[in-house]
Amino acid sequence: MPVRERIKALLAQENITMKELARLLSEKTGNKYSLQSISHRMLRGTLSFNEVEIITEILGYEIEIKKVYK
């Protein structure tokens, strides 16, 4: 599942709008994020890993990286 879809699913689960996410992200990072900028970056797939980490933290989640054994 693309990051965009995962973030949208988490937003729905937590009952947080994209506009609210942009506000919270701006507060947390000190950088200006708008609904439009977040939407476009998610659509283009240009969110940085750091931004995704911060978004998941805002939503109360964490990213876990596991070694895949084949």
Asked whether residue 63 is domain-assigned, the answer is: no
The predicted model gives 56-62 an average pLDDT of 96
Indicate whether 68 pLDDT > 90: yes
pLDDT of residue 34: 95
Domain membership of residue 27 as a residue range? 3-58
pLDDT in tens, 31-43: 999 999 999 999 9
Residues 6+ apart with CB under 8 A from 62: 56
Is residue 26 domain-resident? Answer: yes
Q: What is the mean pLDDT of residues 26-54?
A: 94
What 3-state DSSP class applies to 68?
Answer: coil
Mean pLDDT on 38-62: 94
- Tally of structural domains, the chain: 1
| 17 within some domain | yes
pLDDT at res. 1: 78
Would you say the C-alpha torsion 10, 38, 24, 54 has a positive or negative sign? positive
Q: Exposed/middle/buried for 70, CB within 10 Å: 0-12, 13-18, 19+?
A: exposed
Asked whether residue 67 is domain-assigned, the answer is no
Is residue 35 included in any domain, yes or no?
yes
pLDDT above 90 (res 8)? yes
